[in-house]
Amino acid sequence: MRVLQFAAGEVRALPDIPPPGAGAGWLWVDCEHDEAGLWPAPVAALTGVTVFEDHLLDAGNRQHPSHFVATRDYEMIIFRGLASAATPDEGAAMLRIRTRPTVFFLFPGCLVTLHAPDSRTVPALRDRLLADRGPRQRLPESPEELMLRLLNGMIDRYLELRQPLTAQLDRWQRLLLDPRRPFQDWLALLEARGELRKLEHLCEEQLDAIQEWRDERLDQARGDPSRAGMAHPPGFVGITDPLRVRTGDLIEHVHRVLNHTRRLEASLESAVQLHFSSTAHRTNEIMRTLTTLTAVFMPLTLITGIFGMNFEVIPGTRAPAGFWWAMAAMALIAAGMLAYFRARRFLSSPERLARRSHPKAAPGEHQRDPE
């Protein structure tokens, strides 16, 4: 458990949570999930607020979704951040999005954070605040501002997912649309779609939690009469303009991740549809070629069938040049059928059809003298 005290524009680390009235300013109590039982009693002695047992159980639940809850004396925000850096291998089918909850308890004059032992965002900000104590450093002025800074750092890690997600989507599109290699890895594709939907649901839960906290503070600032009897104790104030700006930026960042995820999901769906369209097109090309060959050989089969009938006398069968006349007639019929089908463009490739539909301009056609 790490304790930081912010007072008079300075920050310093404390060995433990001080008793009530021991100093001015406000505190940041940072704990790992394994230390969840160390802070409730000292914080209750400091603030006079006891956390509900159900909320402590929710804070210890590693599978709890992003959530916001407000009571008369404190607020709790659960926010799921990325568990580790998302750097997939070249052969990986899709990013594995693993998340862990970070819990924020907001008390008047105190912020308590609970995070995983391998969290990067919370320790990084804590170490940066302690290391850079110069006059140019801008310290958070309230527990709310510190919480928003931490949330912003967690969301920035989601923004970093956009480039690897896009690279993975490009890989899927190349595999789906590769005409030389039939696509077989449908199970991995379903898992990839599941990861995108998982990220979409995570963003929606995060938006709900942040917006509910913002609306809660806006109601306090406006003095909402429907909240009679739920007023917070002194020390909890409505959202200020700087906090409103930070909250708006936070929501906008989550929207960017959400919109990018939805675009990726739509692009993946489009790639699947293009794959089926391409497969159907190749099948149609094969069937058209087979149909054309069948039509060419049909009259030839008829001729050979006529001369293969079991009549004693068939005109031309005993002629010395009869075989060659029959072969010449069959060759002429086949050539005529091929010429007919080529004229009707039944045997033309899509590239040749495109060139015929859009012929190149003659030299000098676009270089006319101005009138």
Residue-wise pLDDT tens digits, 125-184? 988 888 876 655 688 888 999 999 999 999 998 888 888 888 888 888 888 888 788 888
**Contact indicator for 207, 254 with CB cutoff of 8 Å:** yes
CATH number, domain with residue 99 = 3.30.460.20
The better pLDDT of the pair 358, 31 is held by 31
pTM exceeds 0.85: no
pLDDT, tens digit (0-9, with 9 covering 90-100), for 176-232:
888 788 888 888 888 888 888 999 999 999 999 999 999 888 887 666 544 444 445
The total number of residues written for the chain in this structure: 371
pLDDT, tens digit (0-9, with 9 covering 90-100), for 345-354:
776 655 554 5
Which of 108-122, 160-174, 323-337, 342-356 tops mean pLDDT? Answer: 108-122
Bridge partners for 75 per DSSP: 70, 106
Q: Which domain holds residue 131?
A: 2-278
Among 110, 151, 144, CA closest to 249: 151
pLDDT of residue 133: 62
Instruction: Look at residue 294 and tell me if it is in a domain.
Output: no
Instruction: Look at residue 168 and tell me if it is in a domain.
Output: yes
d(CA 85, CA 212) in angstroms, rounded, equals 28
pLDDT of residue 350: 55
Q: Which helix (H) or strand (E) holds 81?
A: strand 75-82
d(CA 155, CA 50) in angstroms, rounded, equals 30
CA atoms within 13 A on the CB side of 333: 17
| SS3 (DSSP) at 279 | helix
pLDDT of residue 113: 95
pLDDT of residue 361: 46
Question: What is the tally of structural domains in the chain?
Answer: 1
Distance of CA 122 to the CA centre of its chain: 24
CA atoms within 13 A on the CB side of 165: 27
- pLDDT value at 370 more than 90: no
pLDDT, tens digit (0-9, with 9 covering 90-100), for 265-284:
898 888 888 888 888 888 88
Instruction: Look at residue 106 and tell me if it is in a domain.
Output: yes
The better pLDDT of the pair 7, 68 is held by 68
In which residue are the tokens 């009571």 written? 71
pLDDT, tens digit (0-9, with 9 covering 90-100), for 241-270:
888 899 999 999 999 999 999 998 898 888
pLDDT, tens digit (0-9, with 9 covering 90-100), for 28-84:
999 999 988 889 999 999 888 999 999 999 999 999 999 999 998 999 999 999 886
pLDDT of residue 362: 47
Instruction: Look at residue 162 and tell me if it is in a domain.
Output: yes
pLDDT of residue 348: 63
In degrees and rounded to multiples of 5, residue 300 shows phi and psi of -65, -40
d(CA 33, CA 59) in angstroms, rounded, equals 8
Instruction: Look at residue 302 and tell me if it is in a domain.
Output: no
- Indicate the burial class of 82 (C-beta count within 10 angstroms; 0-12, 13-18, 19 or more): buried
DSSP letter string over 187-232? Answer: HHHHHHHHHHHHHHHHHHHHHHHHHHHHHHHHHHHHT-GGGTT-PP
Bridge partners for 28 per DSSP: 4, 111
Instruction: Look at residue 224 and tell me if it is in a domain.
Output: yes
Instruction: Look at residue 118 and tell me if it is in a domain.
Output: yes
pLDDT of residue 369: 45
CA atoms within 13 A on the CB side of 359: 5
Instruction: Look at residue 111 and tell me if it is in a domain.
Output: yes
pLDDT, tens digit (0-9, with 9 covering 90-100), for 12-30:
888 888 887 767 789 999 9
